Amino acid sequence: MIVLGLFGALFTIVIAGFGMTTSIFARTGRINLIECACLSWLFGCGIVSLLLWVFGAFCSGLPLQAIVALVCVVLVIVGWRAKQNANANIDLPKPATITEWILGCVILIEIAVLIFVAFKHTLGWDGLLNWEIKARYAFLNGGSIPASYYSSAGRGFSHPEYPLGIPFTELWLYLWMGEPNQFWVKIIFPSFYAACAPLLALLVSRLSGKRWIGLFIAVLLPFVPSVSASPGGIVVGYVDIPLSVFYLAALGYLLLWLKTNDRPFISVFAACSALLPWIKSEGIILWSVLVLLGFVLSLAKRRLAHFVISIVPGCALILAWRVYLKLVHLWPHSDFAPLSLSTLSQNLSRLGDIFGILFAELSEPVHWSIFWLLAAVALIYLFASRKLERIALASAVVAPILLYSLTYVFSTWPSYSAHMTSSVSRLLLHVMPAGWLGIGLALSQTKRETQTL
Amino acid sequence: MRALRYFHFVFWFALFAAFVWISAPIVWPAIRENRIGPIATNRSIDAYLGALSGIEHGSAKLPDVFRRLGKDGSLVVFVRDENAQSEFLGMMIGYVSWPREVQVIKVSGRTVEKELADIKPSSVAGVVFCSIDPPTWLQHRVRLGSSITLVPVTEAAP
């Protein structure tokens, strides 16, 4: 019964996302099934968690579950009708060569292995005490987090101010399973990897014009030890990998839009970038980086109006979450001091240590192997290409790392170096798939850029 | 031009080979470690409480014990500052004791005499010590595992 409920939850997530994806791509006349499946998972998690948050304010228990499930069904019907009206075909792209077949099979095997591995581990410290705790308390309260949780000083350790994207996806599974099952809920995290690898292959293929390079890069992705073997990876139920997938998708589709001017791409960017701050607080930094880069690039391409419209959902979500935290009287708790010039000047001497720790982390083989060396070489290629889009991609990898590092200037921990050491490896995960995108484009180094997937 | 292109791919594939060569010995053992299961509702919290304090099925036992303290009153949880295991246990107590209000107090020393004196018994149901020895004068201690001790509040007042 529990497993049946689990399938019900996953099915409703995917159909909600499928409805939205097909609505977006219907007008193109051809819907790539792999792309559609990956985006369905991302959008589905976003939709379901947002619906639970919104409707949870008005109802709870079975009515809440029924309303959200009904909206998921309505979304898939709307999406399907849009596809039928546009006479669009759903197409499963098949590998064209033996190399592509082999690489595609390896990707599938890697996904299967990571799903298996995820179930061998318990939820990690943050996975349990920052994220799952919210899902559990909401489940015990019928589907919404009680206001007393936000104002509870004693539970400040669980960061009540963190957004609910992943906790409410977990909650959705709990509601369907009928219990807060910490074993089955872990399916969420390798599912994000299962969306990430094909999406990375697809984006590299489209941007480079070479499908085998996309597949090859996706094959290499799980060899970054942090994905499976270190704190923050898929196996411990942290939200860093999910956030990195949303960032990859938002960045990739922004670049595709700039390259092709196809409307569906900017719609995907709008949705994925809007969900960044909903997955983790640091998502605001990633969103800001994308907004800045997108602004410059769309200005250069004279497409500013469309771009400005695309950032409205993100602005709305950030604002809504801030207002909500005010309304629930959040207990003031933060690891960082408010941004001010006096704090900045007072702590400026930290910069040397901060960049020392950053360099030590980037060159830590147990966490990264030589991934950051590869990324650094790729960045040189991208900057040297003198193409605006490629420079933007390189900036999208570098800027978050610099901004994340600078935040430790405002750390309120007794030891800011301990604060940084304990968290920077997870923050670097956020840009890791984007780094692979850069590596793929550096490897391709081609003038012929066509869409092959 | 062709030589340059050849060099480009050789260079990148040398980097990829080195990357996989270094990664594989780290990733492979991580993939192999542990076994699946048990497929239990409170799989993670039970595993942590079992490993850190030797409590079997802690997610069910601890709330049951706290329930017996009565409906009202908060739990005061003492943890040792800069001791990751003690702090983690304190958070676990906070996790499983929901919806009861908790107050986690970090102490630097091995004793908590002074902090105990500050507790107002009227609003507290019990005091929990995580990897900290309760004062010797405290009677009626309930051991909840190798490193967690509960003292109902009527006993905790000096």
Once rounded to an integer, what is the mean pLDDT over residues A112-131? 92
Of A158-167, A394-403, A442-451, B131-140, which range is least confident?
A: A442-451
pLDDT at A452 exceeding the cut of 50? no
For residue A207, count CB atoms less than 10 angstroms from its CB and return exposed for 0-12, middle for 13-18, buried for 19 or more: buried
Tell me the sheet residues that pair with B152. Answer: B126
**Tokens found for residue A189:** 């995290």
- C-alpha B33: how far from its chain's center? 22
pLDDT tens, residue by residue, A265-311: 999 999 999 999 999 999 999 999 999 999 999 999 999 999 999 99
Containing B106, the helix (H) or strand (E) segment is strand B102-107
Q: Which of A42-46, A384-388, A442-446 tops mean pLDDT? A: A42-46
Question: How many CB atoms lie under 10 A from the CB of residue B136?
Answer: 8
pLDDT band (50, 70, 90) for residue A319: very high
Cβ contact (<8 Å) for A146 and B24?
no
Digit-by-digit pLDDT tens for chain B (158 residues) are 788 888 999 999 999 999 999 999 999 998 888 888 788 889 899 999 999 999 988 999 999 999 888 888 899 999 988 888 999 999 999 999 988 999 999 888 766 777 787 787 788 889 999 988 888 888 788 888 888 999 988 644 44
- C-alpha pair distances (Å), A347 with each of A267, A340, A403, A413: 41, 11, 15, 13
- C-alpha A274: how far from its chain's center? 10
Question: What is the model's pLDDT at position A451?
Answer: 43
Give strand ranges (E) for A145-194: none
Once rounded to an integer, what is the mean pLDDT over residues A49-66? 95
For residue A327, count CB atoms less than 10 angstroms from its CB and return exposed for 0-12, middle for 13-18, buried for 19 or more: exposed
From CA B29, how far away is CA B37, in angstroms rounded?
18
Within 8 A by CB and 6+ apart from A84, the residues are none
pLDDT tens, residue by residue, A184-234: 999 999 999 999 999 999 999 999 999 999 999 999 999 999 998 767 788
Q: Give the nearest partner residue to A183 out of B22, B30, B39, using CB atoms.
A: B39
Question: What is the model's pLDDT at position A337?
Answer: 85
Rounded to 5 degrees, φ, ψ at B104 are -95, 120
pLDDT band (50, 70, 90) for residue A446: low
User: Please, are residues A234 and A114 in contact by the beta-carbon 8 Å criterion?
Assistant: yes
Q: Give the nearest partner residue to A122 out of B22, B44, B104, using CB atoms.
A: B44
**Tokens found for residue A239:** 């939200």
Quick one: closest CA in B to A174, which residue?
A: B41
Residue range B44-156, CATH number = 3.40.190
From CA B122, how far away is CA A123, in angstroms rounded?
37
pLDDT top residue among A177 and A453:
A177
Q: Is B30 on the interface with A (CB under 8 A)?
A: yes
pLDDT top residue among A329 and A180:
A180
Query: Which sequence spans correspond to the domains of chain B?
Result: 1-33, 44-156
Q: Which of A200, A204, A178 is nearest to A4 (CA)?
A: A178
Question: What is the model's pLDDT at position B150?
Answer: 92
Amino acid at A396: A
pLDDT band (50, 70, 90) for residue A453: very low
User: Please, are residues A307 and A291 in contact by the beta-carbon 8 Å criterion?
Assistant: no
User: Please, are residues A246 and A45 in contact by the beta-carbon 8 Å criterion?
Assistant: no
Q: What percent of chain B has pLDDT over 90?
A: 39
Cβ contact (<8 Å) for B88 and A445?
no
- Which residues in chain B have their CB less than 8 angstroms from residue A179's CB? 41
Q: Give the nearest partner residue to B30 out of A123, A229, A374, using CB atoms.
A: A229
Once rounded to an integer, what is the mean pLDDT over residues A18-44? 95
Q: Which of A116, A228, A230, A379 to mutate to test the interface with B (most CBs of B within 10 A)?
A: A228
DSSP class of A26: G
Of A35-39, A276-280, A362-366, B72-76, which range is least confident?
A: B72-76
Question: What is the model's pLDDT at position B154?
Answer: 62
Cβ contact (<8 Å) for A220 and B8?
no
DSSP secondary structure string for all residues of A373-417: HHHHHHHHHHHHTT-HHHHHHHHHHHHHHHHHHHHGGGB-SS-HH
**What is the interface size between A and B, counted as CB pairs within 8 Å?**
115
Cβ contact (<8 Å) for A220 and B19?
yes
The torsion defined by the Cα of A397, A398, A400 and A401, in degrees rounded to 10, comes to: 110
Once rounded to an integer, what is the mean pLDDT over residues A137-166? 92
Question: What is the model's pLDDT at position A343?
Answer: 87
Mind telling me how many Å the CA of A410 is from chain B's nearest CA? 21
Question: What is the model's pLDDT at position A375?
Answer: 97
What angle is formed at CA A157 by the lines to CA A156 and CA A160, rounded to 5 degrees? 50
Rounded to 5 degrees, φ, ψ at A68 are -65, -40
